[in-house]
Structure 1
Amino acid sequence: MNTKDLGGTIKHFKILHTEWSSGWGGQEQRIILECQKAQEFGHDVLIACQPKSGILAKAREIGIPVTEVVMRSGFDPRAILQLVQIIRSHNIDIVNTHSGKDTWLGSIAARLSGSRLLIRTRHLSIPISTSPFNFVHRMADGIITTGETIRNELITRNRLPADRIISIATGVSPQRFDPAAIDGSATRRELGLPLDVPVITMVAVLRSMKRHDIFIEAARILNARFPEARFLIVGDGPGREWVEGMVRDAGLSERVVLTGYRQDVQNLFAASDVAVLTSDRFEGVPQSLSQAMAMGLPIVAAAVGSTGELLLHGETGLMAACGDAASFAEAIGKLLDDAPLRQRLGASARRHVLNNFTADVMFSRTVEFYETLLYRKGIAR
């Protein structure tokens, strides 16, 4: 992982990640994973984030250097000044921004402080304004997207230079997500699930864009054919009461288990037969699906964002129509009816992830992108 530039060898990078969000979801988990991999390969990392944020607590828990920066808006002079001081005092080589507000703050601070590279990571497929006043993405030396669909949108809609944008999907740890190393029966007993019934699981933050209403309606449809089946809703978020109400209204309180937020999603997937994601917008390459696939599960999802990079219909899972509960129920039911099909698709899903979507692949491609950008800028040290 050594990095060569025009002046010799850079033995390690000093990388600052900025994050405005106070939540804890796939985006924040990717930042943590990148930092862990960077440390593993001898680089120095630092996260600048909001006080009381989810990423702050996690970074402290696992020993990643982190500093609190109050980010009130996309233009907060105090936050910019603090970030400039952080960049200079830590001799930061690379500033990598992640959310909208911290991208403005971090980009301005990076340019004022003279850091070597400014990177913007774009996690979601929400369209970016084409207004000339939204020039912050043109400030970056390079942009990393979490899926090819997002990259293509930036090139075609926002007319950003293609050679400055790369798609690098979030990686999975093969050691953590290893079906041979985990017995799901203990998790089934913990959750009160019979050992001999099919379990269908969805891992996602509880918010409207994930369309838990579709998942619950699909469960209601399937309940008539598979009354023994159980459905796990894993995650927490602002929509918890909404989801709980839908489960009650559908008469599925005895069939659906809301587990809340769990750090051991690998154990929940080990206890499952099928993994589902019912999102209808704003997805990159969903981590919940790649993690489930690494655990040898077939997946069911719609063609949203860059989901298609994971879901190869008939090979790693089954495609459902976006927003159509009956289509999801049909695909899930087909997998429940056919154990050999589940096993074949699940094995293929794991191979696909191990070949293309591991954490090592993610970080290796990220460092190669840094190297390319440094070479283009002719920066030596």
Structure 2
Amino acid sequence: MSAPKRIAFLIDAIASPSAGTERQLLMLIEGLDRREFEPWLCVLKGSPWLSKSFDLCPVRVLDIESFKSPGAWMNVLRFSGWLRRERIDALQVHFRDSSLAGIVAARLARTPAVIAMRKNQGYWMNSAELRLQRFLNRFVDVFVANSEATRDWARRVEGILPERLRVIHNGFFGETRKAGDEAARRRARQTLDLPLDAPVAGIVANLRPVKRLDVFLRAAARVREALPSARFVIIGEGEERERLQTLVRSLGLNGEVRFTGRRMDVPDLLPAFDVGVLSSDSESFSNSVVEYMAAGLPVAATDVGGCHEALAGGAGGILVAPGDAEALGRAMVEMLSDEHRASHARAAHPRRVAEAFSRDRYLAAYAALYNELLKSTGRRASCS
């Protein structure tokens, strides 16, 4: 039996396991069969969480804060030497800075395979960054998008050839919930201090500009006009919190909106919702939408990234144009008022998640990718 394939994963940083891409990567590392694969987690910058709480595999910190710092490129060269010494078979890179450092290091080290992730649609990219990305793309063996929408974006905008692109949807690693669990609903509402009989619309999101929580709040104001007893929950933390709290006051929603901050018990809180909401301007494949579906919730979301792929056109979801608070508010009202849609979501959404986005399907897809890629590129020789 051959030795396990050595796969290194490079990402900018992991401050906590709660963000979407970071959580998916950690679940992948945890789930890989150690008889087949030996993973390493590599980060540009360390974090207290990583040093204290992570023990799934060895960790290497590159100590790169910025590519403008004097020692950054020396650390890239050191990383290249490490890839060669450790006989890494494949390097998988996430995010912009890790792609730059990782692709350069891997090609200098003659690492057999380089995999680049596409888990957003470049909303942050200017023309110079796009030109750099296109140049780096020449040195990548395969790109993995987590939605068909992002695959199509990468073909159209980055000019990546179709044969170099794969789609592996995000996996759901929790448990789908039994529909209509009144005890779970009651506990969640008590935890969040919500009335048991109020219509509740909730959102799970990092409080960053691209998530457009301002649109969610403006939509909430419209919902309250139609459903005066409605309540709204925001689960997440981030740089936008103070601005959003100011907006809550200006919209007169003081008593109706709950900010929970970052929570590690999100699955236990979702039964408090009657509808799950996504208000982002840009997504690739929303983990929050899949989490809502696993909880049997109807969904009101902006039509971004792979949302239509997740919902598959079912009656339990409504998609609206990004930035349209009026349309999102109408969708939320409809989902809060239409028992047929709610019933459809309770029955169909957990089944859809279990069939299309399961842990086993996700892990098997990545294992097949690594095996196929290294079969074609060859593995690192047993000695340097």
User: TM-score surpassing 0.5?
Assistant: yes
Q: Secondary structure at the match of 1:304?
A: coil
Q: 1:152 to 1:68 in 2, by over 3 A?
A: same
Greater CA drift, 361-370 or 35-44:
35-44
Cα RMSD (Å) of the superposition?
2.5
What corresponds to 2:96 in structure 1?
100
What corresponds to 2:253 in structure 1?
252
Q: How much does 1:212 deviate?
A: 0.7
Greater CA drift, 148-157 or 15-24:
15-24
AA aligned to 1:303 is: D
Q: How much does 1:355 deviate?
A: 1.2
* Residue 29, structure 1, aligned to residue 30, structure 2: no
Contact 1:15 1:94 in 2 (8 A): yes
Greater CA drift, 187-196 or 211-220:
187-196
Q: How much does 1:158 deviate?
A: 2.4
Q: 1:85 to 1:130 in 2, by over 3 A?
A: closer
Q: Secondary structure at the match of 2:131?
A: coil
What corresponds to 1:3 in structure 2?
none
AA aligned to 2:241 is: R
CA distance in 1, matches of 2:39, 2:160: 28
What corresponds to 1:4 in structure 2?
none
What corresponds to 1:6 in structure 2?
none
- Structure 1 counterpart of 2:120, from 117, 121, 124: 124
What corresponds to 2:187 in structure 1?
186
Q: How much does 1:117 deviate?
A: 1.5
Post-superposition, which runs of at least 4 consecutive aligned residues in structure 1 deviate over 6 A?
A: none
Contact 1:49 1:55 in 2 (8 A): no
Q: How much does 1:173 deviate?
A: 1.5
Greater CA drift, 285-294 or 114-123:
114-123
- Structure 2 counterpart of 1:20, from 8, 12, 30: 12
What corresponds to 1:292 in structure 2?
292
Q: Secondary structure at the match of 1:47?
A: strand
CA distance in 1, matches of 2:248, 2:207: 13
Contact 1:170 1:362 in 2 (8 A): yes
CA distance in 2, matches of 1:341, 1:194: 22
Q: How much does 1:21 deviate?
A: 4.0
Greater CA drift, 231-240 or 41-50:
41-50
AA aligned to 1:277 is: L
Q: 1:45 to 1:179 in 2, by over 3 A?
A: farther
CA distance in 2, matches of 1:195, 1:40: 46
Q: How does 1:110-259 map to 2 (within 5 A)?
A: 110-126=106-122, 130-131=130-131, 134-175=134-175, 177-179=176-178, 183-259=184-260
CA distance in 2, matches of 1:316, 1:16: 39
Contact 1:18 1:49 in 2 (8 A): yes
What corresponds to 2:40 in structure 1?
46
Q: How does 1:349-368 map to 2 (within 5 A)?
A: 349-368=349-368
CA distance in 1, matches of 2:309, 2:277: 15
Q: Secondary structure at the match of 2:233?
A: strand
Contact 2:235 2:263 in 1 (8 A): yes
CA distance in 2, matches of 1:31, 1:359: 12
CA distance in 2, matches of 1:310, 1:45: 29
Contact 1:200 1:276 in 2 (8 A): yes
CA distance in 2, matches of 1:74, 1:135: 17
Q: How much does 1:241 deviate?
A: 0.6
Greater CA drift, 308-317 or 195-204:
308-317
CA distance in 1, matches of 2:318, 2:159: 34
AA aligned to 1:211 is: R
Q: Which runs of 5+ in 1 are unaligned?
A: 1-8
CA distance in 2, matches of 1:237, 1:84: 34
Q: Deviations over 1:305-354 (max 9, x none)?
A: 22221133443411123211111111111121122321212322222211
TM-score (norm 1): 0.89
* Residue 72, structure 1, aligned to residue 65, structure 2: yes
Q: Deviations over 1:157-189 (max 9, x none)?
A: 3222211110111110143x4346882322211
Q: Deviations over 1:246-288 (max 9, x none)?
A: 111111121110000111111121221110001122x111001
CA distance in 2, matches of 1:39, 1:57: 24
Q: 1:39 to 1:54 in 2, by over 3 A?
A: farther
Q: How much does 1:378 deviate?
A: 4.8
CA distance in 2, matches of 1:120, 1:308: 24
Contact 2:111 2:380 in 1 (8 A): no
Q: Secondary structure at the match of 1:248?
A: helix
Count of aligned positions = 370
CA distance in 2, matches of 1:185, 1:174: 20
TM-score (norm 2): 0.88
Contact 1:214 1:324 in 2 (8 A): yes
Contact 1:50 1:56 in 2 (8 A): no
Q: How much does 1:50 deviate?
A: 3.9
Q: Secondary structure at the match of 1:280?
A: coil
Greater CA drift, 113-122 or 139-148:
113-122
